[in-house]
Structure 1
């Protein structure tokens, strides 16, 4: 039995991960800005659940939630950084305020939660950090540029965290879901910006239309995704990346193929930028 600390559990994938962890017999600290909304959705099973108010953009709130978890259960074994928000707009359509707000939640938020939890994991010399990324955290698309950039940031620091924590016995995993049937595409979760530019009608504009038609018809099953995450966390050697959904695999395969093709086409240009070898200096013994 492990203690799971999960952010953003009021709905969507975070709520389903909390349910799956409880069903698997774990203890769960389920956090959200509105803790009452979590209590309404997650019945407490034999004291295994602690619901705590947590705003990932408020450092005091973050530390208070972690302290409450440690006071109740004495340890944290699995951290799931799930809380986040979305933005669907062309890069040029994304105003400064919206971009900064998105980074506060999607980038600075998980960094703050990690900083609060990692001292406990380091003392234990054990644990698992699971950061929820996205299909567009690796393979982006028109309309998702700024949102994808926040997930690219998460991917970057999570890859590094994986290397930094491995010697301490702490696992780190990126979960990269595709389109799952949650409320993510609802207006309450996904901001589209008040202003649009006609020149992007066939790219970002088309994506807005597609997203609206896909809302609550997404191919992914969030309950299955949550069970996969909980099962993955029990693996002796969990992966750095866990892509979820057939759409994610298709997008990743296409990007890897295109990346390899372009890299091979420009390989000689890349190699030609090194310093020319100096015969004398490269002679052994000189």
Structure 2
């Protein structure tokens, strides 16, 4: 494993762990090789649910929706445990049913899940919105691996050096689309925003949960952005992230809007990104719905 640091012509600094050509966040626990081996051999339970999602695509939104549905409670559950970021012994000792999180490319997920054990759920979000959201989050945290302006971050985001998804968003989506088991559900961030109740019903059905309409509508109301943000700001500090965020409370809630990228992207950046998007969709044969708004 190598620790790589890139400083560009504008003095933007980009640092990540690299293993077998793939980039990883510095926050991946310990040696990447060892952690990937542990994740691959992770003992999956039949009732495990893993949120396998690209960063800033609605991770905590989806997590809290699932936990409300699984617990039968409208309680806010916080940030959850990540299989590449947290103590695996702590995760192994969690009582069932477990709901876990990962931002790893799908090729690195537990082998038992590839064989259909447990369930996996994801949200796809307009990459323009998520890259803006991620850059804002990094500006509020300590050294998560990037220090610099948006132009420099966007340059890394569209490259295979992007540590957020062990490669570019396009490569991450390609891995996701090759997931062949029936234990997988992909929802759209945009559609969840527009049609919250219908998606909550779909998610409950996938999770094989029997709730009445009244409860499902209550969940739909309680996962609205402003309510989640308010609850998050009242949660107890998380020791795992106290070294890089205020009192260990991750700055994950900003606007939660669709189309906010328009307030950051320049015309030139947008045109370049759109060209690349079209090229990558064709080159990689991506099936993802490109109508994000």
Q: Normalising by structure 1, what TM-score?
A: 0.33
Identify the structure with the greater helix proportion.
1
Q: Which has the higher contact order (CA 8 A, sep 6+)?
A: 2
Higher-Rg structure is: 1
Q: Normalising by structure 2, what TM-score?
A: 0.32
